[in-house]
Amino acid sequence: MSEAPTQAARPLAVIGGGWAGLAAALAAHDQGWAVQLFEAAPQLGGRARTLTGPAALTGLDNGQHILIGAYTQSLRLMRRVGVDPDQALLRLPLTLRFPDGGGLQLPRWLAPLDAAAGILGARGWSWRDRFSLLAVTLRWQIAGFRCAPDASVLALCQGIRPRVMAELIEPLCVSALNTPVDQSSGEVFLRVLRDSLAGGPGASHLLLPRTDLGALWPEPAAHWLRNQGHGVQVGQRVQGLLRAPQGRWQLQLAAGETAAFDQVILACPPGEAARLLTQASGLAGDEPARLADWASQARALRFEAITTVYAQAKVEAGPLRLPQPLLALRCGPEAPAQFVFDRGQLGGPAGLLAFVLSASPDLSREALTQQVLAQGRQALAPLGLSDLQALGTVIEKRATFACTPGLQRPAQRLISGLWACGDYVEGPYPATLEGAVLSAQAVVAALG
């Protein structure tokens, strides 16, 4: 581990305090940079954060995030800042069980035996269902988990029977890419499957946070960075960028303050990055046009929403406890939730459930809440549910970019001394925490 930055260390600005920005700051520390990180929001974490209000939701998360065993860099960074993943995350074999007991669960075997055994032992599937999936997954393996860039997930799955599509492929796709199967990139979907189902021991395991998202990594990472002599400022929005003499960059902060840096990494949402670029001054030559092109590409990204409905569930004897901390739900036009998390088994109050709607429909908060409550009461009735009351609903309207076939994502390098990182920037992964971390590490490695 390198030492704390000295006065002679090169100054680097990171704009954004989500997983990408914090990962960039940690990587930059190792390269000898003196980092100043600026986060506009009052708390760190970006789109994976702990809520500060309203009162009923304070201390809960803005969404439910699942890591997998293949997210090696995210897990490494947790250990780096003193978080023990074995304590902070509940590790489970890949499981997509429904409240009635149907669905798939992989055993704790080595790949690919675990996947084959899980498919053959799936509850509620016919032998034709099972063999249709085995045949297609074998085809994927023979092709090296590669396909044409313009192929959709739906096109990849020709030959898989409808029940398997509904109970496995569609939930996997929407949880990994947050985009419906007919619109999702087959290339990216296969990359995730390759790294998980065909990865090393435990790569396909689900890792469910046992703590709130702030404590899971962003807050410990910020504490570590400050202890190493770097700056981490929250509630500090960068107002503008100015190309200063000798190629340096000057950040315009609140109340007329400025700060100069050798390099700047934009680790903020694409809309905020585009705002800063279109207002940047002091540019020369073709730099304004290049930044305008990047901003246009970032603004052209289509986004998908994720909704979380928090509810308190009871049975006659007291709080409801689900058979597993995470269950899949059968969804449809008026039953929009794909998953339900038992937060009581993940460090929260007993009976606290979080219903998740990936690629959430464009409906009002009230309409979504009522649909989910009706869906939950029906789905959980076999478990003895006697009461289900909503606590609050969180809608992240721009939770992830739509991961569509052949999508051209914005580049990491903009112009000299100016970079971008995040889960939406060019890279092999969809909008995941690991994708954000990998993007940040790649940018810092290219700084020179």
Residue 222, classed as helix, strand or coil, is: helix
Show the tokens assigned to 103: 């669905």
Q: If you ran DSSP here, which 8-state letter would residue 269 be given?
A: -
Residues 6 or more apart from 320 whose CB is under 8 A from it?
313, 314, 351, 353, 380, 383, 384, 385
The Cα–Cα gap between 269 and 274 comes to: 9
Please tell me the predicted confidence (pLDDT) of residue 1.
Answer: 44
255-to-236, 252, 277, 278 alpha-carbon distances in Å: 11, 9, 20, 21
Show the tokens assigned to 378: 């029906």
Per-residue pLDDT of the chain (448 residues; tens, 9 = 90+): 445 565 558 999 999 999 999 999 999 999 999 999 999 999 999 999 998 876 667 788 999 999 999 999 999 999 999 999 999 999 999 999 999 999 999 888 877 788 889 889 999 999 999 999 999 999 999 999 999 999 999 999 999 999 999 999 999 999 999 999 999 999 999 999 999 887 888 999 999 999 999 999 999 999 999 999 999 999 999 999 999 888 899 999 988 899 999 999 999 999 999 999 999 999 999 999 999 999 999 999 999 999 999 999 999 999 999 999 999 999 988 999 999 999 999 999 999 999 999 999 999 999 999 999 999 999 999 999 999 999 999 999 999 999 999 999 999 999 999 999 999 999 989 999 999 999 999 999 999 7
Please tell me the predicted confidence (pLDDT) of residue 8.
Answer: 59
3.90.550.10, 3.40.50.720, 3.50.50.60, 3.40.50.300: which CATH number matches 10-55+214-301+405-446?
3.50.50.60
Q: Whose CA is closest to 53, among 349, 301, 325, 392?
A: 392
> Contact, 48 vs 54, CB < 8 A?
no
Number of Cβ within 10 Å of residue 131's Cβ equals 14
Q: Is the pTM of this model over 0.85?
A: yes
Each domain of the chain, given as residue ranges in start order, spans 10-55+214-301+405-446, 94-204, 303-401
Q: What phi, psi does 54 have (nearest 5°)? A: -65, 175
Number of Cβ within 10 Å of residue 360's Cβ equals 21
> Contact, 243 vs 283, CB < 8 A?
yes
Q: What phi, psi does 440 have (nearest 5°)? A: -65, -45
The Cα–Cα gap between 42 and 53 comes to: 12
Third-level CATH fold of 303-401: Polyamine Oxidase; Chain A, domain 2 (3.90.660)
The Cα–Cα gap between 301 and 24 comes to: 23
Please tell me the predicted confidence (pLDDT) of residue 256.
Answer: 85
Strand 206-209 to strand 103-105: parallel, antiparallel, or no bridges (unpaired)? unpaired
Q: Which residues pair with 231 in a beta bridge?
A: 36
> Contact, 281 vs 291, CB < 8 A?
no
Residues 6 or more apart from 131 whose CB is under 8 A from it?
none
Q: Whose CA is closest to 426, among 297, 265, 264?
A: 297
